[in-house]
Structure 1
Amino acid sequence: LLLFLIFLVVQILLFFIHHIIKNSVAAIKLSPDLYLLKPGENSHKYRSRLLLQNSTESSIDDIVHSLGSMNVLLEMFNDSDYVSVAPHSAALNVFDLESRQNYVFTVAFNSTMVHSLPVLMNIISNLLLRNLNVTESIQIWSNPFIQNLPDTIFRLEIYFEAVLLGIIITGMPPYFAMDNAENHKIKAYTQLKIAGLYPSAYWTGQAVVDLPLFFSILTLMIGSLFAFHYGVYFYVGKFLAVIFCLIGYVPSVVLFTYVVSFTFKKVQNTKEFWSFIFSVTALLCTVVTEVAFFLDYYLVTTVLHYVFSLFIPIYPLIGCLICFIKVSWKGKRRNGGYYDPWDRLLVAVLAPYLQCVVWLFLLRCFELKNGGRTVREDPFFRSCFTKAKTWKFPDVPRDENEDEDVKAERLRVQEVLSSPKSEEMPAILVSSLHKEFDERKEFLLGRKIKKVATKHVSLCVKKGEILGLLGPNGAGKSTLINMLVGEIEPTSGQVRVKLLFRVWCNMCDSPFLSATDRCIGTVQHLKSKFGRGYFLEMKLKETADVQQVEYLQSQILHIFPNANRQESFASILAYKIPKEDVQSLAHSFSKLEEVKHAFNIEEYSFSQATLEQVFVELAKEQEEEDSTFGTLNSTLWWERTQEDRVVF
């Protein structure tokens, strides 16, 4: 909208400038009232009466009557000193010939009045016509010396606006036809595909909105261009050529914008970057072509026009408009060359239709390559010649500390894969899913390190269940989800997803830690497994010294022998109490009340471990492992490896 308003403002401004210049060089009608008063008018600063001197020996009433019919106010004068009656613009002295059949006029005029002499000559001419009984009169105009200036300005003006229109319209599509890049960045496109949307339906929906919008904007801009320049001669056949070019140009540019939107992985500000590239490309193509034209290299101009129309999808409409404008210019012969802009319209009209086929094919290829997998097979965006994927299943290393639930889930997945018809297939089946990112270009302790995002994960989700992946940053949750939806290719393992829609579901949580699943089960199972025991937190009224804290800790260890002190502050002490140390809650609270009064404790809390505390402990455990092995958070590591991204 802003670009359209800019173009409209430029048009209005040039329209007024054109009319100002046109009026400044317009012809001036030299009528008697330009310098002479009419009958009944009062005196005027720049107009006066016509002095009429009778030097004949007879009456000149016929001349006086004729001048009155021409609306000229007379003043009779019989002296030869014109200065005595100044100021006046002009004077006529009438003489007669010896035959007394014709008059001789002597003209006296004011040289400061530029057009006074032509006005007097016109008055005398009309007097002679009156004597011949001619009712019509002669009218004269003063034309400027430069007659072709308005036409030249008109040509340059519409030529400039046509080029400006081409530059502006090419910069528009990236701003409204590149939602695909934004949808991929925020993972909205992935969510739509998981919901069952066909890629062909997605692109059709985009085109249904973008094509009418772009066509409407182009129609308004081209319509305003010709509305402000109504003097352009419209050849019917050539105007139809512009319309057909416009009909093919709109889908060609929109489809081309869809194709280049897949550069979102390399280009950060995709819309601004491609809008700038489109506008600069259109400007360069136009400048190169028209420089060759004005230098009279007509063959080079035609070749450049053909090449740009065929291989630069944003150029055909610009070239078509410029050719249409030049149709009104006469063919030029110079140095034996001849240029006819009519010959260049055909390729500009046909090129967009041919390009639409190419862009549809490329859009299909990029969608299959970068669009990710779909849960439903699309009739258009499907690969007809791809081979069945070969899944890699390396030996899963045994872990003696692996949770029993995780082992049971792995065996369950193996049973489903070995006998798929024995029971209902689960909605999601993950078997030994493993993902390693590229090697880092650094050395640590004399060896290279690979970042393991997910480590041989196996799980299945039945119909009616929801699996939640919980864990700190860098645990591999996002990587696993991206592999499930097809955004990331796994290093090894297998994923099977079946499209299901359920409203009432059970929830199953799977905490992730260091790229492995530590537990599979419900929230209650998770708390009972990792949250056994109690947490004790005490807040002191005043900051205690070291001896008081040590004595207080000895009392806590006396009550709870296996208590483990957690991270504490100056006035807050926290302990983790094993379940075995709490034989009776009543006895524990009684002892804690004694400690509260003895050590001036403001308040304390003694409760079972919450789910939040469980994950805090798991996060601390992963942080210790990361510091031990020198691994990076997967998100930070992945961002650091993106060294080839363009920031615009």
Structure 2
Amino acid sequence: MFYYLDEESRTIEPFLVSLIPFLHFITFLFILRCLEWKFGKTSMRKDPFFRISPRRSDVCPNPEEPEGEDEDVQMERRRTADALNSTNFDEKPVIIASCLRKEYTGKRKRCLSKRKKKIAARHVSFCVRKGEVLGLLGHNGAGKSTSIKVITGDTKPTAGQVLLKGSSGGDPLGFLGYCPQENALWPSLTVKEHLEVFAAVKGLRKADAAAAIARLVDALKLQDQLKLPTKALSEGIKRKLCFALSILGNPSVVLLDEPSTGMDPEGQQQMWQAIRATFKNTERGALLTTHYMAEAEAVCDRVAIMVSGRLRCIGSIQHLKSKFGKDYLLEMKVKTLAQVEALHREILRMFPQAARQERFSSLMVYKLPVEDVRPLSQAFFKLETVKQSFDLEEYSLSQSTLEQVFLELSKEQELDDFDGEADLSVKWKLLPGDP
């Protein structure tokens, strides 16, 4: 059986054939965008149609002004504002985080009650300069991970702005390296395969990739694990691999979220040495979060301590020790135990506010307030006199450690958390007989 098309059908058919692909394109593009909005999260902000050029995001103002800030934090905020407005791109820091604020909506306590907002970050502003490693310290819930997620684009800030070096260029994958807390690895792929895949994704040529992988393997002592699948690796080796993947390709911005967690001391030393070598005197910079004060002192040029979502202080480690260290630690070791009580009385006479902390056999430890110790020359003169009078084996006078400064500042967050829990759990009411 044969069908014949009339003249009108012959005219319409080519038109439909050419129109249908355009209709398919518009339909599938609409479906794709709907799926991305619902399931895709917001990791890469792209043009909504062609998805090739970064889209400028509106900067929302903060609803409140910062109060009672440390002068160093205020100075860092001014430095951040100047860096944002600077037209000299060569002098711009590699990371600029300006007035970041992030709010989360909590669950309702009752059906008709309002949702209570939890503020994870308030007016957080800092810069990471070229060749610098900035350490971000804080207890759980202080806002460290939230700040990292805002910078990576995993979550959108309620207010504030982030500017990364290279983010406006044509290489959207090469400028940023990220070592997350969780080991984001393929269980079945070997260490070498991971390195090769990431090198290819970052656009390294085969010869350059082989040379870069060889350097990283040598620096992190991964030779024996190259052919092992990641599911067979220890936690420490996995952390080494995640760090290696984050710096592969020499990205200008690197974010290290608890990089040495779960590693043995030898592995930590190798990691810290690699971090120092990667960023010292280079055009790159890194933001590092950690719970280990030893890690911060080993690799960080500056340290910022977060308390209850706020930046409590920022500066070099020595600067923070001098500014927030309230006490000095005096340790003395006597040769004969018979001198202990007489020596204790003499220390209290010379340093009236001294508080004995510990005593282990012949070792005596005191905490001395700063006002009792300064000037240091006079304090050492007194201690030399004591050493000769009591024939001490040795003594040392040291400044507060970074850990002591951190714990002292973190007490503020503990008080805030306690007050918050009290407000939610305790309701006061007047008894009938009270006025």
The two structures have a TM-score, normalised by structure 2, of 0.47
Please say which structure displays the higher CA radius of gyration: 1
Between structures 1 and 2, the one with greater helix share: 1
Between structures 1 and 2, the one with greater strand share: 2
